[in-house]
Amino acid sequence: MPVAGNIAPRKRRAISRSDIVLVSSTMFQERGYDRTSLEDIARALSVTKPSLYYHFASKEDILLECVRVSYVKFRGELAHRDNPLLNGRMRAEIFLRLYLEVISQDMGVSMVIADDRVMSPSGGEQYLAWKRELNNDLESRLKAGIQDGSIDVSETHLTSFAIFGMFNWVAQWKVSGNSFSVDEMFERFTDVIFNGIGGRR
Amino acid sequence: MPVAGNIAPRKRRAISRSDIVLVSSTMFQERGYDRTSLEDIARALSVTKPSLYYHFASKEDILLECVRVSYVKFRGELAHRDNPLLNGRMRAEIFLRLYLEVISQDMGVSMVIADDRVMSPSGGEQYLAWKRELNNDLESRLKAGIQDGSIDVSETHLTSFAIFGMFNWVAQWKVSGNSFSVDEMFERFTDVIFNGIGGRR
DNA sequence: GTAGTTACCTACTAGTTGGTAACATTTGGA
DNA sequence: TCCAAATGTTACCAACTAGTAGGTAACTAC
């Protein structure tokens, strides 16, 4: 099973699963999952549609793989950056910073734009499970922050949703031409979330 | 041109534009615009597809009308609730409270889930213009708040995006079974936005 | 060289979709 | 009562879609 990184370039250029995932996630993000046909993807890769079926069982499979790859990447990098000695607020910030970085990339955005309604029951369940994991992770960081005093909020569940909403929505404007850097978005978002925008009463 | 609210019920039940808009927006929200066919809509109204074409020129026209109706409703009610004597923060809260109410309704949600990428250039431009109006309105309330001291934030553009993202995302979970009341969402969201969740440093 | 495998292609099916043309029926008004 | 407009319907099309069947060239191991 040849993977990417062959030393000797083959005469016959073979596309890999990761090629497909990369191109697909970009197109899903630009045009939407429903409006991206397998022929579009195949054409972008200079192959034909049945070639895609050699590598993937279905269109949904491609989408799920896009999400899985990004999710695994996120988890791995998070484990790397995380530090259990830090307080809850800082660990929440680490989480959110990485989350923003990932969903700002073409590939990572599939984590956000995927829709369990277009998926098979098992696929949808898998996708929802990943989302739930992320929610739970952020929520537990918030709770830790409440414990150690670095965060002050009366409830974590809806708060976590609110925060995710704010971040996830960037996937929506990316497409409308609005482009901000990850740095300025993170700066602004966390300022709103942690400091609030209220002035003197 | 008979509008809704006929006193005498006709023998031949004629569907109105608002009937179509009501059913369509509900279905668009539940299943997504792309995955809702005109036949689905027609069937739900117990008519046939060409009947819809008597009332609307295209599928996009239906979507745009869904958005327009909600937008006009929002604008009208906002003018009613608004009070120029209040400070910027309170006027922002009035805006956000109504916005949340509207997009929490089946019909209002179309304002959020519409996607200019599926529209014709002119339709997309119209839709973006409405969105821009809303953004500008919120932003000007934030700016007024900065002037009168009721809001304290260094920048309004990205902040406005952040806030809209947080609210708009509720349209995404509605469908996943998460249901919170407008009251608790508004309470939580505004608490995060205005007070922040940061604890002692 | 040859056998097996990998990775792709051409050609197709079966179904859906937005949209249209032509025709039918109901209704309100004169 | 009769007409014209309003509001449907049946029957269709052309385009597109996910997915499949079956064949083939190239590479690999022996």
User: CA A56 to CA A20: how far, in whole Å?
Assistant: 9
User: Under an 8 A CB cutoff, do A142 and B191 touch?
Assistant: no
Do the Cβ atoms of B194 and A197 come within 8 Å? Answer: yes
Please give the backbone phi and psi of residue B8, each rounded to the nearest 5 degrees, phi first: -85, 120
Task: Provide DSSP, A53-66.
Answer: HHH-SSHHHHHHHH
Which residue in chain B has the smallest CA separation from A113?
Answer: B172
Whether residue A103 contacts residue A167, with contact meaning beta carbons closer than 8 Å, is answered with yes
Picking from B86, B192, B84, B87, the residue whose alpha carbon sits closest to that of residue B149 is B87
pLDDT tens for A141-184 read: 999 999 999 999 999 999 999 999 999 999 887 656 667 999 99
For range B112-125, the mean pLDDT: 90
How far off is chain A from B67, nearest CA to CA, in Å?
17
Nearest protein residue by Cα to C1' of nucleotide C9: A48
In percent, the amount of chain B with pLDDT more than 90 equals 72
Confidence of residue B179 (pLDDT cuts 50, 70, 90): confident
Q: CA angle, A181 as apex, A68 and B168 as ends, to 5°? A: 65
d(CA A114, CA A25): 10
Nearest to A28 by CA among A41, A45, A44, A15: A41
Q: What is the CATH number of domain B59-195?
A: 1.10.357.10
Per DSSP, helices labelled H in B82-181 are: 88-103, 110-113, 121-148, 157-168, 170-174
pLDDT tens-digit readout, B30-46: 889 999 999 999 999 98
Q: What is the pLDDT of residue A35?
A: 93
- pLDDT for res A5: 31
Q: What is the pLDDT of residue B11?
A: 43
Which phi and psi (to 5°) does residue A71 adopt?
-65, -45
Q: Where are the beta strands (DSSP E) in A23-123?
A: none
Place of tokens 């984590």: A111
Distance CA B133, CA A193 (A): 25
Task: Please determine, for residue B136, whether its predicted confidence score (pLDDT) is greater than 90.
Answer: yes
User: B28 is written with which tokens?
Assistant: 């668009």
At the topology level, CATH places domain A67-195 in: Tetracycline Repressor; domain 2 (1.10.357)
pLDDT tens string, chain A, 201 residues long: the values are 333 333 233 345 678 899 999 999 999 998 899 999 999 999 999 998 999 999 999 999 999 999 999 999 999 999 999 999 999 999 999 999 999 999 998 888 899 989 988 899 999 999 999 999 999 999 999 999 999 999 999 999 999 999 999 999 998 876 566 679 999 999 999 999 999 999 975
Query: Which tokens hold the place of A136?
Result: 């739970």
How does A66-75 read in b/e, with b if 16+ C-beta sit within 10 Å? bbbbbbebbe
CB spacing of A151 vs B189 below 8 angstroms: no
Please name the member of A31, A128, A169 whose beta carbon is closest to the beta carbon of B169.
A169
Structure tokens that stand for B103 in this block:
């997009």
Task: Give residues with Cβ within 8 angstroms of A67, minimum separation 6.
Answer: A110, A111, A114, A127, A130
Which nucleotide is closest to B47, CA to C1'?
D8
Q: In whole angstroms, give the CA distance from residue A100 to residue A78.
A: 12
Rounded Cα gap, residues B128 and B111, in angstroms:
10
Tell me the mean pLDDT in the region B16-34: 91
In this structure, are residues B66 and B25 in contact, taking their beta carbons and an 8 Å threshold? yes
Gap between the Cα atoms of A35 and B28, Å rounded: 15
Q: Partners of A198 in the beta sheet? A: B151
Determine the pLDDT at residue A106: 81
